[in-house]
Structure 1
Amino acid sequence: MKWGTKYGPEYVNRLYAMVRRNLGGDFKFVCLTDDGNGISPEVTCLPIPQLTLNLAPGQRDGGWKKLTTFEKDLYGLRGTALFLDLDVVVVGSLDAFFEQPGEFLIIHDYPRPWRRERITGNSSVYRFEIGAHADILAYLRANLDKVQAQYRNEQAYLSDMLHKQGKLAYWPAEWCPSFKYHGIPTWPTNYWEEPFVPEGARVMVFHGECNPPDALAGRRNRAFRFIRPASWVAKYWKE
């Protein structure tokens, strides 16, 4: 899914190429977007379904638009869908994401002291049956102000609703590590050791302060947080 100007078409094209190299068999690669210019012809571009958000001036829309993937009739698409954020880097086989048992699977959000007991998932990578969770989107549309007041973001809302329905499950922890939390050497070794891909990783998740080109350049978006260039990114994040 791509909207706005933060990510260019190269993110879509590189994501498609990484999936093609790491997923066996035939698949349909779909990008829900407001601008298909520059996107590879191998990618099916479709409009983002309508979701009108009530945002204060300057307020980011976060990831709420991701929930439009749960439309009951999503342009006639059928089957099992694996959602991948545009800024992830695929570093291993994706086949197991379609084989893991569960009705709805998502990353268990990375443990921080204030999150230790929470159920919230990280929606950078999730799997679902198309059309199976239309109630999640329908309730949001009918109760937009209430939902946005109660939940910090779309993944908190999504996780809570599916947990209450007994449908929430998580990927094995090693499959989708965080670059920020798991791929940067601890201080002070970060000054002489490069960022790395943790063992067992299949998808490296970039969230918060650093995207793949930043990591490749050795650049973080917060002061006093040093990293060396992550040369491994060039090996995977390419067409």
Structure 2
Amino acid sequence: MSAPRIILCMKWGTKYGPEYVNRLYAMVRRHLTGDFKFVCLTDRSEGIRDEVQCLPIPELTLPNGEPERGWKKLTTFEADLYGLRGTALFLDLDVVIVGDITPFFEVPGEFLIIHDWKRPWRITGNSSVYRFQLGAHADVLEKFRQNQAQAKADFRNEQAYLTDVLHKQGKVKYWDSSWCASYKYHCIPTWPSSYWRDPIIPKGARILIFHGVMNPPDALAGRNNGNWRHARPATWIAEHWRE
């Protein structure tokens, strides 16, 4: 019998409303074959649909005033995450799923993550999409808890730290480079044609990643939010980013 499949996401504070969780669930349901459990680690469960199991974000004390930079995501590596067992695929709330994500559970490997697009010569992964066995990498979190000041001095954010620790253990593998596309780098046409050409879904893309200042509503409306890449409205976002 194959291991249970868990979709994990995390929502804290007020930056993202419950509609992000609800739409993410709906996109997964449309694009993942077979059974799965959908879990949201959150401090605010109001408005989240019933199919989603909401659980508290495990405690991770961060000094007041320090930038969060995603460090809370490391709590997905708890040795015992509320008794959950199986293979977990973590998805950021602001991704847009545009193709079959069943293969994300089929690729062999202990830990899979996006290879950062901006500086591909580095080992750093982008943690918008990563997969692991629940409870298998508790040392990642424990090491951070024991010496988070040093981790923050050495690494800008959680994904740089996470990739470094597991790469040194020989456990990091990267997704097929076409599967997770950056909206910023791969969907928006190059300047100056971005002023008259619409954004596209790149060939082979299954999940679109929104990093930096743009989110799906911005892409849909054609707002750049100060992002240097001008972009026309991507009206096709509405076909995918919905319940």
Give the shorter-chain TM-score range: over 0.9
* 2:163 is aligned with 1:159: yes
Q: Is the 8 A contact 1:120 1:159 kept in 2?
A: yes
1:208/1:224 Cα in 2 relative to 1: closer, same or farther (>3 Å)?
closer
Equivalent position to 1:43, from 38, 45, 52: 52
Q: Is the 8 A contact 2:127 2:159 kept in 1?
A: yes
Q: For 1:107-150, what per-residue CA distance to the aligned partner results, in whole angstroms no more than 9, with x for missing partners? A: 00013xxx242100000000000000000000100111111111
* 2:29 is aligned with 1:23: no
What TM-score comes out, normalization by structure 2 length? 0.94
Give the gaps of 5 or more residues in structure 1.
none
Equivalent position to 1:10, from 19, 34, 43: 19
1:231/1:178 Cα in 2 relative to 1: closer, same or farther (>3 Å)?
same
Q: What's the counterpart of residue 63 of structure 1?
A: 70
Q: What's the counterpart of residue 53 of structure 1?
A: 62
* 2:114 is aligned with 1:110: no
Equivalent position to 2:98, from 91, 95, 106: 91
Q: Is the 8 A contact 2:188 2:229 kept in 1?
A: no
Give the partner amino acid of 2:104: F
Deviates more, 1:184-193 or 1:126-135: 184-193
Q: What's the counterpart of residue 7 of structure 2?
A: none
| Structure 1 residue 221, shift from structure 2 partner | 1.0
Indicate the SS of the match to 2:200.
coil
Q: What's the counterpart of residue 212 of structure 2?
A: 208
* 2:82 is aligned with 1:78: no
Give the partner amino acid of 2:80: D
Q: Is the 8 A contact 1:54 1:145 kept in 2?
A: no
Bigger fraction of residues in strand: 2
1:67/1:224 Cα in 2 relative to 1: closer, same or farther (>3 Å)?
closer
| Structure 1 residue 224, shift from structure 2 partner | 5.8
Q: Is the 8 A contact 1:195 1:227 kept in 2?
A: yes
| Structure 1 residue 45, shift from structure 2 partner | 0.1
| Structure 1 residue 81, shift from structure 2 partner | 0.4
Distance across 2 between alignment mates of 1:84 and 1:117 = 24
| Structure 1 residue 174, shift from structure 2 partner | 0.3
* 2:193 is aligned with 1:186: no
Give the partner amino acid of 1:217: A
Indicate the SS of the match to 1:97.
helix
Indicate the SS of the match to 2:40.
strand
Equivalent position to 1:34, from 43, 54, 69: 43
* 2:242 is aligned with 1:238: yes
User: What percent of counterpart residues are identical?
Assistant: 68
Q: Is the 8 A contact 2:23 2:241 kept in 1?
A: yes
| Structure 1 residue 223, shift from structure 2 partner | 6.2
Deviates more, 1:126-135 or 1:144-153: 144-153
Give the gaps of 5 or more residues in structure 2.
1-9
1:213/1:126 Cα in 2 relative to 1: closer, same or farther (>3 Å)?
same
Q: Is the 8 A contact 1:93 1:202 kept in 2?
A: yes
Distance across 2 between alignment mates of 1:116 and 1:108 = 7
Give the partner amino acid of 1:80: T
Q: CA RMSD in A?
A: 1.0
How many residues align structurally?
234
Indicate the SS of the match to 2:11.
coil
Distance across 2 between alignment mates of 1:131 and 1:223 = 38
| Structure 1 residue 62, shift from structure 2 partner | 1.1
* 2:236 is aligned with 1:229: no
* 2:174 is aligned with 1:170: yes
Distance across 1 between alignment mates of 2:39 and 2:184 = 28
